[in-house]
């Protein structure tokens, strides 16, 4: 990932979309065509008291290995080999690894009653909160 400019910036459409483009340049950016998905993610983050891009960055760094392993074992059902979750999808998955109740809106790609149970085995790969990632 490229170095980030000011990470202490408040979360809004512009700051979060810029951050996600830089952090995940090789992932689909669905919010260009479906901006409501970015708005829903921002609302979900605010509800969970994420105010700055830096807070999201630290959380994604902590959950990166767990999310990557889960994605490898459970790729999105797109019918494509080596398919990957979108930038928003991987953020939601990372947040759900830390908080089983993360979703307040529709689960979209995560509409699976056993998802939290399936994620449980990957939680052991989450770094401690105080780690310097």
CA angle 117, 95, 88 (to 5 degrees): 110
The predicted pLDDT at position 63 comes to: 96
Residue 5 lies in a domain: no
Q: Which domain holds residue 58?
A: 13-125
The predicted pLDDT at position 1 comes to: 47
37 pLDDT higher than 60: yes
pLDDT tens digits, one per residue of 55-95? 999 999 999 999 999 999 888 876 555 688 899 999 998 99
Residue 4 lies in a domain: no
3 against 76, higher pLDDT: 76
Rg, Å, the chain Cα set: 14
> What secondary structure does DSSP assign to 75-103, as a single string?
--SSS-TT----HHHHHHHHHHHH-TT--
The predicted pLDDT at position 83 comes to: 82
How many separate domains does the chain show?
A: 1
Q: Say how far apart CA 132 and CA 127 lie, in whole Å.
A: 9
Q: What's the pTM value of the predicted model, to 2 decimals?
A: 0.81
């Amino acid at each position: 990932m490229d170095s980030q400019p000011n990470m202490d910036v408040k979360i809004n459409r512009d700051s979060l979309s810029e951050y996600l483009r830089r952090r995940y340049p090789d992932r689909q950016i669905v919010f260009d065509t479906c901006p409501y998905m970015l708005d829903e993610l921002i609302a979900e983050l605010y509800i969970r008291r994420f105010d700055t891009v830096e807070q999201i960055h630290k959380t994604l760094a902590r959950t990166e290995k767990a999310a990557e392993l889960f994605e490898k074992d459970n790729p999105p059902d797109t019918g494509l080999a080596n398919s990957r979750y979108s930038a928003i999808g991987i953020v939601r998955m990372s947040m759900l690894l830390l908080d089983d109740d993360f979703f307040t809106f529709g689960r979209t790609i995560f509409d699976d009653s056993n998802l939290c149970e399936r994620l449980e085995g990957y939680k052991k790969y989450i770094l401690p909160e105080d780690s310097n990632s």
